[in-house]
Amino acid sequence: MIVSPRDRLMAMNRLRRAILAFQSAQILVLTHRRQKQALSQVDLDAVQHSAVEAAAALLAYSATGLVVGADDQRILAQAQKYLADGAA
């Protein structure tokens, strides 16, 4: 399968946005934990959605033949663990 440079760029941008969204969701969770407050259902849904999008973006990125860097791998592993555990 030949992947165009445009497709690679789109996959790269999608992955970058997904990683940033998941990192923001992690900050939200940590902030609520530190303040000993429960997340609202809307916030829980946002965290879940960001983890799902990160996993999907990783698959699309990998399908283009690109390799994820070590820092991004760590964050994506956290998103996958979140999905596997099912807990914030």
Which pLDDT does position 88 carry in this prediction? 46
Taken in order 52, 56, 62, 68, is the CA torsion positive or negative?
negative
Please check the confidence at residue 45 and state whether its pLDDT lies above 60: yes
- For the CA atoms of 75, 55, 5, 24, the dihedral, rounded to the nearest 10 degrees, stands at -50
- Band the pLDDT of 2: cuts 50, 70, 90: confident
Sequence spans of domains, the chain: 5-85
Longest dimension (CA), the chain: 50
